[in-house]
Every structure is written in structure tokens, then in C-alpha cells.
Amino acid sequence: MINNIYLYIYICFIFCFSFGESLSFSNNLSISYDSNPLKYSENEEVLSSRYLTYSSSLTTKQKIFKRNTRFTFSFKNKFYDKISQKSNYSLKFKAKQSLGNYQYLTFSYNYIDNIYLRSYKDADQIHYILDYLYTGTDCHFDYSIITVDYESPIINKLKRNKVKFNISYIYETQFYNKYFTEFDLELNGIAWKYSSSNRKNKHYIS
């Protein structure tokens, strides 16, 4: 999986440097502390840990169909000091295409690898005769979401507010490790949003 990460980053750099008209790159490094990353209850032995977060983002712009298209590639990695199972990475890709007249079509893909929850006692394994002391099975899952969004302004005759309408198609998955596949999810849906803003206020309905 690590090799796939480097391949993804390499392809992003090649794509942006080869075709992009403009390019911006940002990095961020932070150190944080979580007093209960596994969300244990009060009657359990609560574990705490420091964690290091590194994130980078690459944005480029080019003209497709004679209009500007903005591409964003993002990568984030978390390293936990005391609970290594919580360490993971995420990838994000976003393409926003201008359609003219303040209309936009946006595609985004977000993937988070190995989201660790905690160790649970799996009833299926408890019934087996094991040659070791069974204390639980680690539970984790991979998360992904794909969104296709269309945005259009709404004509406001009074011109006091900026009003726009969004409609999106969303495909979302959560795939667990082999001992917890009964919790796997695949969701499809449509979302919409009406938003209005001016110099002082901003509100929306979705």
C-alpha cells in the first residue's frame, strides 16, 4: 500500500508540472495530543497518545474546453506515538470545471486508509479453541466517498444577496477488515443545497 501512495504522489506531480498553467504547493506539520483516542469508557483503562500530522496539498489550473479547470491533490499522514494502530493516511482529489455564467461542475474523491476503532471481542472467534489467551480482535475499516456536484447561481432581481443552488450525487463506502464485514456499508444518494449570502450574513438550506 505504501508503494501505491508514492505512485499516486508521483503521478500528481508529473501531471501538474507537465500541463498546469499555474501551480501552488503547501505543507503543514503539527504535533497534537489526544487523551482518549480509542474512546474508551470510564471503567476501562484509558490510553492517551501524542500524534504527528503531516499534510500537503498541490493545486494547479489549466484550460479545458476553453475554460479554467482547477485540480487539487491532497495527502495527509498521521503517526501516533503510543497507539500505532491509529496511524493512517488519507488521499483526496478534486477537479472543478467552469461551465460559464458562474456555473461549475465538481468531481471529488476522498479515501482514508485503515481507520482503527479499537479491539472488540468477536463472538465468532470466542467459540473457536485457541492456543492463546484471547483478548479481542482489532477492528478497522477503509473509507471512501465520491461526489459529483453541479452548482448554479439563481437570478436575484433585487441583487441584494448572492444566491446559488447545488445538487450532488454521492457514493460512500466503509469496508471493514475480514472479522467485521457484517458492518460494511455502500451508500448512494442525492443531496441539494440552497445558499444565500451578503456582506453581513450567510445562510443555507440542505
Per-residue pLDDT band for 157 (boundaries 50, 70, 90) equals low
The C-alpha cell at 91 is 488521499
pLDDT digits (tens, 9 = 90+) for 166-177: 999 999 999 999
Share of residues in the chain with pLDDT > 70 (%)? 78
Point out the least confidently predicted range of 66-70, 77-81, 123-127. Answer: 123-127
Query: Which pLDDT score is estimated for 128?
Result: 56
pLDDT in tens, 2-16: 456 556 655 665 555
What pLDDT is attached to residue 126? 57
Please give the Cα distance from 177 to 175 (Å, whole number): 7
Nearest to 172 by CA among 93, 89, 96, 109: 109
Residue 101's Cβ-side half-sphere holds a number of Cα atoms within 13 Å equal to 5
The whole-model pTM stands at: 0.81
On the question of pLDDT at 50 being above 80, the answer is yes
Grid cell digits, residue 134: 484471547
Q: Write the pLDDT tens digit of every residue in 55-74.
A: 999 888 888 778 888 999 89
